Amino acid sequence: MMERRRFLGMAASGMAGAAGMSALSGCGSGSGGDVTLKMVAADYGDPGGDNSSQKFWDELAREFTRKNPGISVDVSVYSWNTVDKKVADMVKAGNEPDIAQIGAYADYAASGKLYKVNELLTIPVQADFLPGLAEAGEVQRVQYGLPFVSSTRLLFYNKDLFEKAELDPDSPPRSWKEVASAARALKKAGVRMPFGLPLGPEEAPAETMMWMLEGGGNYVDTVGNYIIDSDENVETFTWIRDHLVKPGLTGTDPRNTDRQQAFDAFSKGECGMLHGHPTLMQQARRGRIRYGTGELPGRDGVSDANLGVADWMMAFRAGGHRKEAGKFLDFVYRENNHYAFAARYDLMPVTSSATKRMRKDEKHRQLWPFLDQLDSAQFYPAGKVSWAGTSAEIKRTIGRAVTRNGNPATVLGTIQRKAETEEKSTPAAG
C-alpha cells in the first residue's frame, strides 16, 4: 500500500483469485496485436470514485499499443485490500501475470519467478531511478523490484475541530503526550474519532512502522535482523493501548479500521488527527476540510525518523514476454507518463527526472514537505524474502496488541517468531 503502499495507497473491483487469465483479459485495455501482456495493478483512487487507476492504465495501454502495434496490454486493477492476494493466488494456480504492480516482490524473486531489472529496462531508464529506492528493490544486491511510486507521512489534523476543542489550529501536536492531550480535548468536544488509528488489514504494516519509528524502534535492526518484539516496540504499543484505545480516543476498534475508513472520516470532518500520506490532501480538499499538517510526533518530541513507502512493479518470467514487458515498462517510466500518475494521485515519483519536475511545479507545492523527507525516510524491509509473509501476519494480528485487554509483548513476540521462521524457510534469490 506505497503501503503501498503504500505510500502510499488505495480500491476497486474484485475477482476470484484463481479465476485465471481469462478473467483478466475481460477487463483490459488493449485489443489485437501479436502479444497480449497481462498486468495486475493496485488502485490508488477512492472507493467508488471516478478517479480509479483503471482509467489511467486503460489510457496508457491504448497509447502504448498505438506506438507498438504488435503488443497490447490487458490491465486489471484491484483494491489494496486484495491485490497482493490476487497475484499470489494467480501464481499459485500457474497463471502468473506478465507484469504486476503490488506491495512486495522479494518472495517471487527468491522463487526465480521474476526477471532481473537489467533484463527488462534500457540503461537510461534504470539510471533514472532514485538510488535509495532502486536499492530497496534489490535481493542479495540484484534488483528485481521496480519502485513505482513512493510516499512519506505527516500528521494531518482538522483545524476547525481543533478550534471547536479550544486547541490552537496552527500548532499540531509534537509529542505523544500532546497527541493524547489533544485527543482528550477533541473527544470532550464531541469529535467521533479524535485520533484515527487504522490497524486493520489495509494499512497495518505502515501504521505499525510509523509508531515503531516514533518510539525509537523498527521492524529490523541496522544489519537486517527482525526486532519486532524489542523493548521499544512493546513500550510503544503499550502506550497506544493505555493512552489512546482504553480512554476511547480512537473512536473505532483499530483492529477493524482500515486506512480508507480513517481517511473517509477525516474527509467528512469526523476525525481530528491521523497519520496521512499525500493522497489524503486530495480527499480532504474534495471534502472542503480545513486541515493542517505537521511532522510526526514522537515519544518525547518530533520524531527523528519518518516512514517511506514504495510500491513495486515486477515482471514474471512464466509468459516468456521479456522483450515486450520491458518495452512497456520503459514506456511506463518515461518522464511524462510516470509524472502523470504521481501527479494525479498526489504521490511522489521514483525517478530523478519526474522528482525534479515536481519540485518545480507550483501546483504541487503542498507535496514538497513530503519530498523533503524522502532522502532520510526508512522503508519496509522489502528486500527480505520473508517480508511478504511477515507483512501478512502483521495485517492479521497487530490490532490485537492494542485492544483493552491486549498484551503487546505477546502479540509482537508471536509476530517476531513467525517472521524468524519465515526467514529461515525462504530460499535465496537466484
pLDDT for res 286: 92
Mapped onto helix, strand or coil, the DSSP state of residue 116 is coil
Mapped onto helix, strand or coil, the DSSP state of residue 296 is coil
* Residue 141 pLDDT grade (very low, low, confident, very high; cuts 50, 70, 90): confident
How far CA 121 is from CA of 16, 141, 147, in Å, comes to 32, 17, 13
With vertex at residue 359, the alpha carbon angle to CA 355 and CA 363, rounded to the nearest 5 degrees, is 115
Is a pLDDT exceeding 50 seen at residue 380? yes
Chain centroid offset of residue 186 CA? 28
Would you give the DSSP letter of residue 49? S
Instruction: Please state the φ and ψ torsions of residue 158, each to the nearest 5 degrees.
Output: -90, 115
Is a pLDDT exceeding 90 seen at residue 390? yes
The Cα–Cα gap between 198 and 179 comes to: 16
* Residue 328 pLDDT grade (very low, low, confident, very high; cuts 50, 70, 90): very high
pLDDT for res 193: 98
The Cα–Cα gap between 107 and 95 comes to: 17
Is a pLDDT exceeding 80 seen at residue 106? yes
Please tell me the least confidently modeled range out of 205-209, 230-234, 382-386, 418-422.
382-386
CB-CB contact of 311 with 233 (8 Å): no
Q: How many CA atoms, within 13 angstroms, populate the side-chain half-sphere of residue 89?
A: 14
Spell out the domains of the chain, with CATH numbers in brackets.
Answer: 17-152+309-379 (3.40.190.10), 154-305 (3.40.190.10)
- What are the residues facing 157 on neighbouring strands? 273, 292
Please tell me the least confidently modeled range out of 26-30, 177-181, 250-254.
26-30
77 or 33: which leads in pLDDT: 77
Is a pLDDT exceeding 90 seen at residue 279? no
pLDDT for res 309: 86
Query: What is the mean pLDDT of the segment spanning 355-382?
Result: 88
pLDDT for res 317: 97
pLDDT tens digits, 285-319: 999 999 999 999 999 999 999 998 889 999 999 99
pLDDT for res 377: 85
* Residue 47 pLDDT grade (very low, low, confident, very high; cuts 50, 70, 90): low
Cα torsion 77, 82, 88, 92: sign = negative
Is a pLDDT exceeding 70 seen at residue 5? no
DSSP string, 161-207: HHHHTT--TT----BHHHHHHHHHHHHHTT-SEEEE---STTTHHHH
Query: What is the mean pLDDT of the segment spanning 219-235?
Result: 96
* Residue 58 pLDDT grade (very low, low, confident, very high; cuts 50, 70, 90): very high
Is a pLDDT exceeding 90 seen at residue 11? no
| Of the ranges 1-5, 22-26, 155-159, 219-223, the best mean pLDDT one | 155-159
pLDDT tens digits, 145-184: 999 999 899 999 999 999 999 999 999 999 999 999 999 9
Query: What is the mean pLDDT of the segment spanning 370-379?
Result: 84
Average pLDDT, the chain: 89
Residues of the chain with pLDDT > 90, as a percent, come to 72
pTM: 0.76
Is a pLDDT exceeding 80 seen at residue 199? yes
pLDDT for res 81: 82
| Cell numbers standing for residue 351 | 525517478
* Residue 120 pLDDT grade (very low, low, confident, very high; cuts 50, 70, 90): very high
